[in-house]
Amino acid sequence: MILKDKVGLVVGVANNKSIAYGIASACYEQGAKLAFTYVNDSIKKRVEPIATEFGSKNIYELDVSKKEHFEALRESIKKDFGKIDFLVHSVAFAPREALDGEFIDTSKEAFNIAMEISVYSLIELIRELLPVLNDGASILTLSYLGGAKYITHYNVMGVAKAALESSVRYLAYELGKRNIRINAISAGPIRTLAASGIGDFRLILKWNEVNSPLKKNVSIEEVGNSAMYLLSPLSSAVTGEIHYVDNGYNIMGICATEDKDGKVQVAWETKGKENKE
């Protein structure tokens, strides 16, 4: 098993339908020992059975807006494991109102919250956990196509993901001096708790399914397998990358599909049909 005797921390798992769960599952299947975090008591109730499922009793409180939580997390990891081999950052948030309407109307407060929770949390997490990361450790965060291109209703989260991806590149250079790697996965749309706040998400799912080269939407299991590769020694020469796991949707320009009669059907015709349903 590729991750036998390796220890990893998964930050941000919400439930068994989340991308972080898919990543944890893939790593566990390859022999990894796992630890998890929870943001509050409500989420803790969801994380506890997940940790049990993966044979772990190690769950730690982490609200990324509270500096003291990072320090306590570092000390708990040091006490329980000594050091860890990989780290998964699956944390993002923006106020609901910042995902509606026009981006230009984003308030300063909403902008700052999105940046602090979705971007700065990665930087702070790594800085605080550096003393407990093994030589050769691997770090992974999660992005989305909205960080590179305009996605309807994504608004401030798109800007936050762009900042996150840029942070990955800058961190890759600095962490490389310590023989630590960092990468991001840009997954296609998946029905998760986080995605529930994005308007017209059903349409986005259908659009990706119809217009991606592989004609389907991605699953948390598929993202998990790619993540396992990036967290494992198999990717020892890979760092600073934004790895797309979206059935190829990100390569597309003007999209077209063929209907069952062999006629070319352009993407906006598909969108129109979807909106009428």
Hey, which residues are catalytic here? Answer: 144, 154
For residue 147, give every residue at least 6 positions away whose Cβ sits within 8 Å of its Cβ, in sequence order, or none.
Answer: 158, 159, 160, 161, 162, 163, 164, 165, 186
**E strand residue ranges, 22-83:** 33-38, 59-61
Burial of 195 per CB tally in 10 Å (0-12, 13-18, 19+) = middle
Convert 187-228 into a string of H (helix), E (strand) and C (coil): ECCCCCCHHHHCCCHHHHHHHHHHHCCCCCCCCHHHHHHHHH
Contact present, 228 and 221 (Cβ < 8 Å): no
Tell me how far apart the terminal alpha carbons of the chain are, to the nearest angstrom.
47
Q: Would strands 133-143 and 84-89 be described as parallel, antiparallel, or unpaired?
A: parallel
Contact present, 260 and 227 (Cβ < 8 Å): no
